Amino acid sequence: MPKKKQPEEARHKNNPNVLGLRADVVDQRITATLELNYMPYAMSVIVSRAIPEIDGFKPSHRKLLYTMYKMGLLSGARTKSANIVGQTMRLNPHGDAAIYDTMVRLSKGYGALLHPFVDSKGNFGKVYSRDMAWAASRYTEAKLAPICAELFRDIDSDTVDFVDNYDNTMKEPALLPTTFPNILVSANQGIAVGMASQMCGFNLGEVCDTTIAYLKNPDCTISETLLAPDFPTGGEVLYDPAALEEVYRTGRGGVRVRARWRYVKEENLIEIYEIPYTTTTEAIMDKVAELIKTGKIREIADMRDETDLSGLKLTIDLKRGTDPDKLMQKLYKSTALLDTMSCNFNVLIAGMPRVMGVRELLEEWCAWRTESVKRRVFHVLGKRKEKLHLLKGLRRILLDIDKAIRIIRETDAEAEVVPNLMIGFGIDEAQAEYVAEIRLRNINREYILKRTEETEALQSEIEDLEDVLNRPARVKKIIIAELEEVRKKYAEPRRTGIVYDYAEAAEPEEEQAEEYPVSVFLSREGYFKKITPQSLRMSGEQKFKEHDALRQSFETTSNAEAMFFTDRAQVYKTRLGEFADTKASVLGDFLPAKLGMDEGENVVGMVLPGDYKGFLLFFFENGKCAKVELSAYRTTSNRRRLTGAYSDKSPLRTMLYLTEDCEIAVYSSEPRCLVVNTALLGVKTTRATQGVGLLTLKKNKTLDYACTLEESGVTNLARYRGRSIPATGALLRTEDGEDKQMSILD
């Protein structure tokens, strides 16, 4: 007889995992999980990866440069980059690709820094090119640039703390003892968790002058010596005193930078040879190509990238009669040839991220550098005191050298020499050890006189070092002297020019195309035509594709603004001037292709906003209606596409544009009809609002369409009129449905 099958729960009674009740799962609040798991990760990214510290470096930069320093690459010959990457992995366990990317950014060849720290050989790409890839690490070579001597000066003199590396097998510096404020010289950016940092570079000479002025007078005017940011790609800063003051004061803001160009009259072309630090040649070329394709720029015959070993060069061939100055003003307005460098001076201070202005950064750097100099002086002082102590012991020995020789000769065991000298002359073990190591050839008058003079010099030096530690003014003088030395050896002329009077050469107003009356037609399948009255009089019969028909038509002017709403809750804004005049006998422009819509996206309606007065009504399948002010679609920029044009919570059935409140007729699929005044609907300024309930629907019934009362054909208004919303409406009679209009979405 077959065995009776047990119920599922009974068979797995003793196996809680099968029932989804795992024994190792602990009930825990999600907030506790975030605190235990996410917060340590976030802090690790902030503190150990993305945000620079007061020396101007992130941990990855510091580990790479210190490894190269220990490899002897400051004074030695170049070595293969792959060798450097391999050695750096002893400090940085994040993989060879990440380390090599860091080296590329710090390299002279890449050109991302005003003063590169890696002297590179080979193809390291270019900061101004998006597509120029750098060669693999096995092909390129590198060493430290001469300026790195200022990063590691006195690093072995206890100027900074050393910490264990990730596996506790070696030590690495927590910071590099830079002798100049590298945090303000080297551009740096990083994105952490919940915060970011964007440091723009300044000219080394200006930074040194500003730091010296600050050390002499903390209330000095920063802008007198720190003129403006300086970028390795050159260009021109448009000087805005208020904007720069905001950056200097708060550490946040932006600086506008534009490209440099020259006009070659003989060949009628423009050469762009410096571009803003924030963009690339490919981005500029793509944008110009788009402007030419859309007809917004008609003065350009050709544009090409002629960048070579001599440097960057974008060449623009002009059409005959083109004014190069006016064309460049257009390009500045429409492309990244004029761009804004955003600033966010977020720096780690004692392990905590802080956004600081230039004065605060100088204050922190000077305090940190003062501490480094004091530690160096204290370290040297200790060495000098130790040597003086040994020489004092030697002096006591030299007073009776015969006694010392006798003690050594009469000592039987070598291990007893030092203790016997200690007893015989009353010196300590270190002094006795030092004396015992003196060679016989040094026991002469000349040696004794030199040691005596050295003792006196050491005593004087120790007093001087102690005076330095006790007088902050002398520490400042040391820092200032080092800054002056750095400026003298490494300062370079500004690469980015400063334009003070750019406001006088303001952008010319765009030449307005001739305005003339036109009629526009939109079909249900998304074909658009713009026709002049003359052409319409000659042939007024509209041509459409099979199964297509007219959706909307308007009389307007040739350059009016138009908005095309789609079934993806998006709206595309354009000018009718971008469409060529056509005839009624052609199909017209296919809008999804013309406006660059997403695949499968279709036009559901057109609005000519004019002065953006009035409102839009969106009727949704679930019976709701959203009343949105047309001004919610006004934009200050030239954005072509706006997402979130209306709510996508329920399918859109009808869209109406009204300039003032009026009565409308709303139909359901039952069929029922409701006549209400739009004044009952509250106006919203948020485009994606879901609206309010308008039509109360029975199960499986939907809102069908809506139209103005004049278009509805309703004769018995009292039957369908609603005084409040939501309402059910009345069943539609035959005589009220004969002239009903179709939904714009049909």
What residues act catalytically? Answer: 139
Closest CA relative to residue 57, chosen from 192, 174, 210: 174
* Radius of gyration for the chain, computed over Cα atoms and rounded to the nearest angstrom: 40
Give residue 376's identity as a one-letter amino acid code.
R
CA atoms within 13 A on the CB side of 384: 19
Q: Check whether the bond before 671 is cis (ω within 30° of 0).
A: yes
Rounded to 5 degrees, φ, ψ at 15 are -125, 85
Pairing type for strands 260-264 and 269-274 reads antiparallel
Contact by Cβ (8 Å): 711, 720: no
With residue 562 as reference, give the H or E element that holds it. Answer: strand 561-566
**238 Cβ contact list (under 8 Å, min separation 6):** 255, 256, 257, 258, 499, 502
Q: How far lies 23's CA from each of 14, 20, 28, 31, 37, in Å?
A: 11, 9, 14, 22, 21
SS3 529: strand
Q: Which tokens go with 373?
A: 């100099």
The whole-angstrom separation of Cα 438 and Cα 428 is 16
Angle 515-516-522 (CA atoms, 0-180°, nearest 5)? Answer: 105
H helical segments located in 71-203: 81-88, 96-106, 182-185
Residue 297, burial from CB neighbour count under 10 angstroms (0-12, 13-18, 19+): buried
Give residue 346's identity as a one-letter amino acid code.
N
Q: How far lies 721's CA from each of 664, 693, 730, in Å?
A: 10, 16, 9
The whole-angstrom separation of Cα 67 and Cα 534 is 78
**357 Cβ contact list (under 8 Å, min separation 6):** 247, 248, 249, 250, 251, 345
The whole-angstrom separation of Cα 645 and Cα 605 is 12
Q: Which tokens go with 556?
A: 């307007």
Residue with tokens 């795992």: 22
Pairing type for strands 338-344 and 497-499 reads unpaired
Give the bridge partners for 254, in sequence order.
Answer: 342
Q: Check whether the bond before 726 is cis (ω within 30° of 0).
A: yes
Residue with tokens 């003793």: 14
Residue 277 CA to chain centroid, in angstroms?
A: 12
CA atoms within 13 A on the CB side of 433: 5
Contact by Cβ (8 Å): 66, 160: no
Closest CA relative to residue 378, chosen from 551, 154, 586: 154
Closest CA relative to residue 278, chosen from 347, 337, 345, 195: 337
**269 Cβ contact list (under 8 Å, min separation 6):** 263, 315, 316, 317, 318
Q: For residue 124, count other CB atoms closer than 10 A to its CB.
A: 26
HEC letters along 633-658: HCCCCCCCEEECCCCCCCCEEEEEEE
Give residue 462's identity as a one-letter amino acid code.
I
Contact by Cβ (8 Å): 573, 640: yes
HEC letters along 623-636: CEEEEEEHHHHCCC
Q: Which tokens go with 240?
A: 């805005």
Give residue 742's identity as a one-letter amino acid code.
M
Contact by Cβ (8 Å): 713, 740: yes
